[in-house]
Structure 1
Amino acid sequence: MMIGPSKALFMDEISTGLDSSTTFQVLSCLQQLAQVSQYTVLVSLLQPARETYQLFDDIVLMAEGKIVYHGPRSCILNFFELCGFKCPRRKGAADFLQEVLSKKDQEQFWGLGDETYNFVTVDQFCERFKTCYVGQNLAMELLEPKAKEHSSALSFSIYSLSKWKLLKVCFARELLLMKRNAFIYKSKSLQVGLVALLTGTVFLRTHLSKDTTHANSYMSSLFFALIFLIVNGLPEMAMTINRLPVFYKQRDCCFYPAWAYAIPAFFTKIPVSLVESVTWTCITYYLIGYTPQASRFFRHLLVLFLMHSTSLSLFRCVVSYCQTAPVSSVGSTLSFIFFLLCGGFVIPPTSIPNWLKWVFWISPMSYGEICLTGNEFLAPRWEKITVSSVTLGRSILMDRGLDFPSIFYWISVGALIVFILLLNIGFAIGLTTIRRTSQALVSRDKLTKLQGADLANFEDMMNKSSMSPRATLYIPNTIGKVIPFKPLAISFRDVNYYVDTPMAMREKGYAEGKLQLLHNITGSFQPGVLSVLMGVTGAGKTTLLDVLAGRKTGGVIEGDIRIGGYPKVQETFARISGYCEQIDVHSPQVTVWESVVYSAWLRLPTEIDPEMRHDFVKEVLETIELDEVRDTLVGLPGANGLSTEQRKRLTIAVELVSNPSIIFLDEPTSGLDARAAAIVMRAVKNVADTGRTVACTVHQPSIEIFEAFDQLMLMKQGGKLIYSGPLGQNSCEVIQYFQAILGVPLIKDDYNPSTWMLEVTSRSMETYLGVDFAQIYSESSLYKDNDVMVKRLSIPSPETSDLHFLTQFPQKFLEQFKACLWKQCLSHWRSPSYNLVRILIVALSSLIFGVLYWQQGNIDHINNREGLFTILGSMYCTFLYTGIKNSQSVMPFVSVERSVMYRERFAGMYSPWAYSIAQLAMEIPYVAIQVLLLLFIAYPMIGYAWTTIKLLWFFYTMFCTLLYFVYLGMVVVSLTPNNQVATILSSMCFITQNLMAGFIVPGPKIPKWWIWLYRIIPTSWTLNVFFTTQFLYDDDKNIMVSGEIIPMMSFAKNYFGYSRDLLPLAAVMLAIFPVFFGIIFAYSISKLNFQRR
């Protein structure tokens, strides 16, 4: 953000994740920009250290949405002294300013001992500020008229570069991203090649003749080519969605206009469309046996290229308006179904109701179908004259309603180009006009006040929710006891950790095959001792915690780790430990209270009754100060729900309710302001005081937070330990240790010891002093004392025994299932973008199907082969594309929940099978609702028989079908590492199910080498049961086929392979597929882990 002509910089919480030394360096740079280059810099910080705070010239102090103080930093403490509050000597001014406004912390700073303290509200502070000289000077400055002539008062250009240069830069970035995503594009090209081989061998030319009978196969193969290249554009949707947040940020900061992003997005995908359409055409054209003329080959290729470009443009356009994955999935599915139904193959133009004929001309599929069929069937080899005195090719086209003059090929090509242009213009307009909504979170108490509740009631509510600064995690007095736990120490000796050397380092000359991240780390964490892991960014703090907690999924770990003197067993350790990750991962659609109750339900022992568990959860929420937002949905980070600091506190609460003996906290104060950090650390200190073993990593603690710890482990870059020992009173032990090293500068008065410690042990200081702090530590008496301690803790006490649990999980399987089902039920119910939208989409698609196929399913209206094909097409579309929509919708939902499941599984909360079965079971009622909508909307409109047996068969068939499609989507997510790969794999599955469903290629027409695939594809059994139960119970029904009257039952058996004899087997197979996919999903969830740590 600093690169460019902007002279005003607004920076929000830029220190999150940085150590205090790095933060100081960054802010020093900003200070120079402000003072030397005359920048205007406004920075919000959460926990600024004293020396960082002193870099600022002005301070803006806010509370409850009001400015309490705005003026020189040097005057702010004087202002509060005038108000009666004084900052203690060793307390950071920034921390004091945060806490003095809080009702729970204000009294400790009262400086007028001879006067009675009364709480000073934010409004009272604001009024006093207006009357002080700083506030009056500010008011006078604001009264001065603004300068109307100034060199920086007016900008004549929104963007820094010319339009041409903006375009060049965006093109370069797009090409770079394509290079970085080469795996996805290579996978798609490989997929095209594989499906092309499958299609070519299914429609192999040796099986096809140039006659009316085999013309349907040629027509089907052309239709399938269009379908495949459209579906193959689906990954573009996932990639565009993932890039939207970055685009919105850069667009709003005037990096570039939307059109500069949209144009490269289109043009850089042209080679992709070309490669995939060339691959498809080169493989299938001569395998299937289309007209062997060069001109027709290239015309065929041109149409497929344009259709693929149209597909990519369509999905990009949909994303620009829908924004999120679930809604984009709905939009793309609706568009696709509309284009497909009106494309001229599933419903011939002659079968579309007269008042809807116009829809045929607004579908890109129609123009693709006109081009491909005309290019093939108007070729010389199809010019055999039929009995009706027209050529065979034109007769075939007339039967399909696609008989257009040759010139329509180029008209259709022009129409496809227009579609591409319109969709990309729509994409640019969507990117320009659509903006993401933001959400501000207001607690219930604050909302009560804002809505006009009187102040007395409000303060009474606040008093009830307030807590003592020394709040503890004890069970309330009504129970009268603490939930028991066993104090345990963790000791570790010579811990090393290796990973494969990254390719970038190898390219720079690093010869070793393994990169060592931890070097012979020896130490211990003891019960009742609050330990802190510190070091500069990249020192290996989180890596060490992950290794000790058993959270690493890769690499090589060496060393001895013991719990209570016994070798660590990961399954047991997970039961008695808690781990608060740096990244807060929670289910977005449950509330704070429900998240904590869920964790307590699954992690507390079975002997804890529900009432005790409820009280324990309540006490934890009060301790972490989440009781005011207990009914707030967690939401997605950066989008809605909880703020960053509330999310962090929820992470801690979720672990605390497990009543662990050992707790690891990775950056528990990251993203929190000074007061919130103090609250969290106060709660953590209380936990340690109960006799638990607590270890934290922190980056930039204040003096107060740093000195709340009892023991320090300090690491330097490279994963080496340079100090492990007590802090001492006012950090005296640490200070004395480092000041004893020759050349280390002395700490200044009232300087933050943690900041000083990081500065004097930095790599640059090591180089300057010519020392190695790790070697100095290894030769010190402190190291020897720690070594003795580790030896002592590595030997179990005689009166103790190794920790052992009779069961792997705290709760029985049924209880695990009930808890998981409870949370899944809440998540589904509160996910309208998933469930409500897919239900609405079924209702809308049912209406579309019903209107386009109005009464064509009435058996009395089916008199010829074309009518039979049309109604079979309605069945095919109804279950296939409704099923695909369900499969696409469930994938992002399962993906989000899978991230939460990884954390919960590591914590040993439940068996993956209990989680999987609950997630599978939760889909059943929503699928049943969709089937009922199809039954009551599409079924009567299409004209299917309204008899009890056929209604029941329809419900059974559609229920099993939609259920196995949902489970298929879940399986795809469980087998793939991310949404992009899942989208590619799912599109492959959809294409195969489409091709082998029995509509595009009837079963008896499939070559014998692919018949096995037809037998195992679920959609083939669905169409079999659907058609058989609707139309093959009427033995007297005849239809006209090629001028002959034959029984429908006989034609269905010979042409499609359907008969009543196969119905029992087909019905059983329909029930087997959901069960099969459900087992695969559960097994994959239990065995596969794509999280890399």
Structure 2
Amino acid sequence: MCTSSDAIYHGTSYISREHGHFTGEKEEERGGTLTGENGGEDHGGGAATHAEGRGSSAGARRRCGGRRRSSARLGGRRRGADLADSGGGAGENGWGKLKCPRALSEIGYWFHPLSALPPRTNDLQHWLRWGYWTSPFTYAQNALAINEFLDDRWATEFHYKNATTVGEAILQIRGMLIEWHWYWICVSVLFGFTLVFNVLSIFALEFMSSPHKHQVNTDATNKMTGCNKKVETDKASTAQFIFPFRPLSIVFDHINYFVDMPKMTKYGVTEKRLQLLQDVSGAFRPGILTGLMGITGAGKTTLLDVLAGRKTGGYTEGTIRIAGYPKKQETFSRISGYCEQSDIHSPNLTVYESLKFSAWLRLPSNVESCQRDMFIDEVMDLVELTGFKNAMVGLVGATGLSAEQRKRLTIAVELVASPSIIFMDEPTTGLDARAAAIVMRTVRKTVDTGRTVVCTIHQPSIGIFESFDELLLMKRGGQIIYNGSLGPLSANMIKYFEVAIELPYMLVQVFMFVAIVYPMIGLQMTCAKFFGFFIYMVLNFMYYTLFGMMTVALTPNIEIASGLSFLVFIFWNVFSGFVIARKLIPVWWRWVYWANPAAWTVYGLMLSQLGDRTEVILVPGLPDQTVHEFLEEYLGLEDRYVNLITNLHIVIIALFAFIFFIALKHINFQRR
């Protein structure tokens, strides 16, 4: 049985993006899939045919058709994954190039159940039959079925409508083609599809430009390759101040902030308080530049004000700790600074006088005047204002300092207090690209001194955004979307959002697939059986995905991972109990069956859908028996193992996930 093997390749593709590689799926997998379908025909045709002749075909057709169609359906999904993952790029930009081909190839998933099922009235709606005849897999399956069931070993005389042999009857019952000349027509059509697809690919590569141009960021490249000697020099020169400070971290947990609302009962508003921050948690660390981003009204400035203790009204809930100790505002105000968005300075003072005035007010009274002056000079050198030491501050937009110089002066005014923690509210707002870059360079140098710096930012450029080490992203209503490190080229954040969408994407994908295929198979339309089928498919998809991720984590490159996975899939498909029933497997190979997750899925699906059926069927060479008895005596499927089989699915998922995380953490294939 081919059970959602695209999940394996999807998992391999996902984890390969984690490692910055493109996953090349394997076309060879198609051969195993089609062989499984053919074997499914071999298994179920005789029972279905004779059941038809006895007038009790309902149970047999559903049993055999369900098994056979499940194989074809699930095998088709693998082939879809082969196509879906075959059009990507490499590295960080590979996912961007992969989006368009992958999105287009998702359309192919609609054709797999259509191609795997015959276009009969009870199975396929009239408006869907075009998908059956336009799918390449239709012709592949028909060619294989004709090649098998028109063979001499299926030539036993049997009359059913226009069929004269058992093989022809099987093909006709399943709605497939029964004339031999259709074999060569199907083969010719497949060659035609191959030619058309190759020609279209050549034309696309020749005349269509890439939707995403690769942009080289030299600053980011220098950062990644270690070309940051200047930054290290700045660290060394600015880390030693006359007035040393203690690097401190700030941790906040489950912060909620409310304000009173005016009475608006006549408008239908009954709440007395408006919540601006909802369960916000995080940490800001020394030497780490943290960006606080979000749309207007997300609560960025509100969060800064709450952490800094600048909110005089409202109601605050949660805990704030400084270096592990509960925050006390009287102490915190002496070790923290706050740079407001508006640069408010006296226009009649020089830069040096502004800093000296701030130092007089905020430094301890026992500091000597010469030390204070030396410290001011160090701060001016840090923010690159030494050349403007005697320049008048002036009026905004009229005389004196420019906008970015005023912003650097605002930062310097806070730095002369020698704070350990600095909050900055949108330091680049209202500045052009060059001015913003200068300000961010100042902020970066401030962080390199070992201070804890937090900046709110709104609509940053790519250069500014890459200056941050960590990001706290908020949405409207004061809720956190992302909180963590960015990584080179924001790789960590991209990986986070890619992983976050995997589970809902998988659930939606499986639900759509089951909703389309389940009624076509002809199984009983009851809620219990439908969701039982759905749950087994979700579990199946999950362990295949995690197996692919685990394989990539355990192997040095994607080629070895693909080869190893392909070898394992062969055993999983052959010993799943679908192509060869468990009781027909040689005794010395049955351990593979019991160790095979795909066999567990077949076991659970068969019993959950057909285990309670009592229709009598006729199987050649066996006495009359019910569907339930046939499952137990011929296929070896017993009800007492259903709970065990379901639990084994959960265990294997947890095992694959555990091995994946351990391998990802402890196995390193990098070499110098």
TM-score range, shorter chain: 0.3 to 0.5
- TM-score by structure 1 length? 0.31
Larger RCO (alpha carbons 8 Å, 6+ apart): 2
Question: Given the two structures, how large is their TM-score scaled by the length of structure 2?
Answer: 0.47
